Every structure is written in C-alpha cells, then in structure tokens.
Chain A
C-alpha cells in the first residue's frame, strides 16, 4: 500500500498543497488529475523527495518512500538536460543504478517502439517523441516496484501512446508494479486506471474512475459546469 498522510507543501509561506491524504493498493494504476497549477507535479515531486515536505508522510508498504529509491522508476514532466551532453542512448540507459537485472536494452526499446540503432545516437540529438520513449524505457527498465509518470504521453504520437499504455499494463501484470501517473486525458484514464486521485491544492476526491469521474466531481475540480472533455473518445484505446 502507498500511503500519503496529511501532506503539506509550501513554497516559502505560500501553501501549495494542504492536507492531501490517500492510499493506493500495490499493483494498481492510479492517476492524479486536476487543472493546471493545482499541484499535481508538486505532489509527486514531494512524494519523491524532490520538493521539501512541510508536513506529513509518504509510505510505501509501511516504509518511508525515500528509502525505496532504488525501486522507483520516474518520468519527469520535463527532462531538463544539456542537449550537447556527450552521452549515447545506450550509455544513458546503462546509468540506471538498480539492483534488479534489467531487461535487454534492445527488447525494452522495441517495447516502446524504437529500433536498436537508436542506442548509438546521442541523447541530445533525439526528437521530442523519441526522447520521451527513451525516458519511458529508462523508467521501466528495471521493473520498478513503483512507477511515477508525470504526463507520460506528452510529445508522443497516437501509436506511441497506445504502445505506452500497453507497456504500463504489462508492467503491472507481469511485475506487480504500482503506477502513479499524472495525466490530463480523462477519457484514457477512465479506461486504463484503477483509481483516480483528484487534486486542486487539496484532495478533492479519491476512488475508482466510475465513482470519481462524475460530472459533479469534475465540475468541482475544474470549475466548469460543462465537462465536454470527459466525453472525448480515443478510438485507439
């Protein structure tokens, strides 16, 4: 069980998140949703120890999440790095420092829709979509116990998005990985995830998609009465 207890994050004296509390069952997929600026990224950064927590706890199977770092895969919203950094894709993927034996790099690249020839390319020379796929491969390479993904389908095409969600489902099924993802695509979330966590500076709702993704909750979360977004369908899924 992942347990977030009464989490509070402040930027200076300004509270960004207050009293956030939820649980995610291990081996399940949970999505964090909320409008822009609602604190979704801050929530996962605080969980990962990248942003200081003013108050509260984050536990993974009863232990502080910070102590489980070698079992976490993380895909940031924006991977900031110097594009001139002389490192090949193969070297980058080899930098993961986990104890578990990794999947073969070629097999992992195939899973994310890339060919093995990309291993020798410089990381900074990749297109946005290729980089995102490489980062997904990097995050899932060692079959982490917890996979945290911040807007994972950003920059990838429809085929890539389909491959990505297949990969996530396989990861959960075969390796019992717990997945926490931030996404704006509510139609996709409704079909893929087991739990939805709605955040807007505080916890607005938490539960299965059928119970949480209601017109009423979404209107409260996003502040709109007409949530056309929810009715948008993705034929590829």
Chain B
C-alpha cells in the first residue's frame, strides 16, 4: 500500500484539506487559550453548540452555519455576563454550556428518527466534510487567521498583562470579544472532524506541547502549528489505514507526542 494512497479518495482529500486549515487556526488560537488559561472555553463552546446543531437538524437546515451562529451567541453571552456579573468565566461557561446542551438534548428528543448528522457532530466524521463545509472552513479560517496576523501583538500584550495593554491603547474589550468569537467559530468548525467531545484537544494539546520547551513566543507559535499539522495529517492517515475513528486517532496521536515531550522534560535536570 502506498503511504499517501489515502489521499486518492475525495472524502479524504476534503478531510485532510479541512484538517490542515483547522490545524493552523486552532493551534494559533490555542496558544492564546493556554496563555490565558481558557482551556475550558473550547470545551464549553463545543458542547454548547449541540443546541445549534440540533436546532438546524430539527428545522431541516445545514447544521454547520446554524451551529456557528449559535456559538457566536454563546461567546457574546459569556463575554457580557463575565463583565457585568461578578461570576468567574468558568462559572458563566459552566452554566451556559450545560443549559445549551440541555436545550440540544430536548430538541434532539423532539426530532424523530435516526439523525446521522447529530452523531457525526458528536464524535466527528471525516466522511461528513462536504464541499460546502470545506468552503466554510477554508473561508472562515482565512478570515480569522488574517485578523490574528494583524492583531497578534495586541493579543500577546493582552494575554501577558491586561493593564499594560490598556495603557498601551489596545482596545481591550473589542479584542477580547473578537477573540471569543474567533475561538467559538474555530471550535465549531473543528467539530466536523473531531466532534463535540474531542475538539478542545486540538486547541490545547499542540499549544501545551510546544509551551513545554518554547523559550520565546515565536517558537511557541511555530511549534504549536507544526505539532497540530503533524497530528492531524498523520492522525487522519492512521485512522484511514487502521480503520479507527478519525477524531479519536488524532487526539491519541497528539497525546502520545505530548507525553513524549513532557517525558523528555521530566528526564532533564531542572
């Protein structure tokens, strides 16, 4: 069997292309997620998006755009509730994602018959990436990455010290809400491949792995993206040849790399 024979199939080409774009996007955002201790955010948004997906299936609409719209609403709610109440971001997220999931379960219950779309969103499915999905994934990734390219200095300063960012004239509220929206959209886009349950791994594992040894921000960002692309590409390849679920294979491969890097660090003298 040829090493790259999996790319001969149209669905694998779409999944790989979508995966590689999402890899750059999620790894770049993941750097800021780990620096700002927001690991729970991706988890919450992914689970909360279930209501959007269930709503789209119930109404006979395309799930991805509806889920994206729902995720943006959740991101805005998190932002405003966090600022206007005295609750921590974790508490706000905990309330919103469980209530949104509960809504999703109720709507799913009202939808009769077997719903393959819902199952594919829960666990991810490389077979489910259509040309329409690919178009949305690439389009949104390019828009978010362009914003990130122009805002990365402001976001870095904001992640390092909100106070310094404020004094330096960074529009703190605007950049924070844009970051939340970008994160929510990227998470939902990734749900297509990794599923609701596993997507946050792609936000956290590459960034956490590179952070173990990165001495500066540039290498942290570059290695995070490299790890992400490697685990997505080889994860998809392994899942094809081993006939294992794509999302779970990608996450397991990422976890193995993380533990190898962490293990090497543990063996080094402090």
The range of chain A's interface size is 20 to 34
Q: Shortest Cβ distance from A108 into chain B, in angstroms?
A: 17
B214 on the interface (CB 8 Å rule)?
A: yes
Q: Which residues of A contact B166 (CB under 8 A)?
A: 48-50, 69
Residues 37-69 of chain A, each 1 if its beta carbon lies under 8 Å from chain B, else 0? 000000000001110000000000000000001
Q: Is A72 touching B167 in the complex (CB atoms < 8 A)?
A: yes
A88 nearest in chain B by CB position: B216
Q: Shortest Cβ distance from B212 into chain A, in angstroms?
A: 10
Q: Which residues of B contact A48 (CB under 8 A)?
A: 166-167
Q: Residue A96 contacts which of B168, B214, B216, B219 (CB distance < 8 angstroms)?
A: B168
B215 nearest in chain A by CB position: A122
Chain A contacts with B in 84-105, Cβ cutoff 8 A: 84-88, 90-92, 94-98
Q: Shortest Cβ distance from B32 into chain A, in angstroms?
A: 11
Q: Shortest Cβ distance from A89 into chain B, in angstroms?
A: 9
Looking at A50, A92, A96, which has the most chain B CB atoms within 10 Å of its CB? Answer: A92
Selecting from A1-9, A73-81, A179-187, A211-219, the interface stretch reads: A73-81
A70 on the interface (CB 8 Å rule)?
A: yes
B169 on the interface (CB 8 Å rule)?
A: yes
Q: Is A87 touching B153 in the complex (CB atoms < 8 A)?
A: no
Q: Is B161 touching A86 in the complex (CB atoms < 8 A)?
A: no
A82 on the interface (CB 8 Å rule)?
A: yes
Q: Residue A80 contacts which of B157, B161, B170, B216 (CB distance < 8 angstroms)?
A: B161
Q: Which residues of A contact B105 (CB under 8 A)?
A: none
Q: Which residues of B contact A122 (CB under 8 A)?
A: 215-216
Q: Is B156 touching A87 in the complex (CB atoms < 8 A)?
A: yes
Q: Which residues of A contact B216 (CB under 8 A)?
A: 86-88, 90-91, 120, 122
Q: Shortest Cβ distance from A101 into chain B, in angstroms?
A: 16
With contacts A82-B35, A86-B217, A87-B217 taken as known, whether A97 is within 8 angstroms of B163 at the C-beta atoms is no
Q: Which residues of A contact B163 (CB under 8 A)?
A: 50, 76, 80
B37 nearest in chain A by CB position: A82
Q: Is B161 touching A97 in the complex (CB atoms < 8 A)?
A: no
The range of chain B's interface size is 20 to 34
Looking at B161, B218, B219, which has the most chain A CB atoms within 10 Å of its CB? Answer: B161
Q: Is B153 touching A97 in the complex (CB atoms < 8 A)?
A: yes
Q: Is A79 touching B161 in the complex (CB atoms < 8 A)?
A: yes
Q: Is B169 touching A85 in the complex (CB atoms < 8 A)?
A: no
A98 to B157, CA, bound (A): 13
Q: Is A69 touching B169 in the complex (CB atoms < 8 A)?
A: yes
B14 on the interface (CB 8 Å rule)?
A: no
Q: Which residues of B contact A69 (CB under 8 A)?
A: 166-169
A89 nearest in chain B by CB position: B216
A49 to B157, CA, bound (A): 17
A74 to B215, CA, bound (A): 26
Q: Is B220 touching A86 in the complex (CB atoms < 8 A)?
A: yes
Chain B contacts with A in 125-165, Cβ cutoff 8 A: 153-154, 156-157, 159-161, 163-164
Q: Residue A95 contacts which of B156, B169, B218 (CB distance < 8 angstroms)?
A: B156
Q: Is A85 touching B160 in the complex (CB atoms < 8 A)?
A: yes
Q: Is B35 touching A97 in the complex (CB atoms < 8 A)?
A: no
A87 to B160, CA, bound (A): 9
Q: Is B167 touching A97 in the complex (CB atoms < 8 A)?
A: no
Q: Is A81 touching B161 in the complex (CB atoms < 8 A)?
A: yes
With contacts A79-B161, A85-B35, A97-B153 taken as known, whether A74 is within 8 angstroms of B218 at the C-beta atoms is no
Q: Which residues of B contact A120 (CB under 8 A)?
A: 215-216
With contacts A86-B214, A86-B217, A91-B217 taken as known, whether A74 is within 8 angstroms of B161 at the C-beta atoms is no
Q: Which residues of A contact B47 (CB under 8 A)?
A: none
Q: Which residues of A contact B218 (CB under 8 A)?
A: 91
Q: Is A86 touching B211 in the complex (CB atoms < 8 A)?
A: yes
30 example contacts (A-B, Cβ-Cβ < 8 A) are as follows A48-B167, A50-B166, A69-B166, A69-B167, A69-B168, A69-B169, A70-B168, A70-B169, A72-B167, A76-B163, A79-B164, A80-B163, A85-B159, A85-B160, A86-B211, A86-B215, A86-B216, A86-B217, A86-B220, A88-B217, A91-B216, A91-B217, A91-B218, A92-B160, A96-B168, A97-B157, A97-B169, A98-B168, A120-B215, A120-B216
Using a CB–CB cutoff of 8 Å, the interface residues on chain B facing chain A are 35, 153-154, 156-157, 159-161, 163-164, 166-170, 211, 214-220
Using a CB–CB cutoff of 8 Å, the interface residues on chain A facing chain B are 48-50, 69-70, 72, 74, 76, 79-82, 84-88, 90-92, 94-98, 120, 122
Given contacts A70-B169, A79-B164, A81-B161, 14 further A-B contacts (CB under 8 A): A48-B167, A72-B167, A76-B164, A82-B160, A84-B211, A85-B159, A86-B215, A87-B217, A91-B217, A95-B160, A97-B154, A97-B168, A97-B169, A120-B216
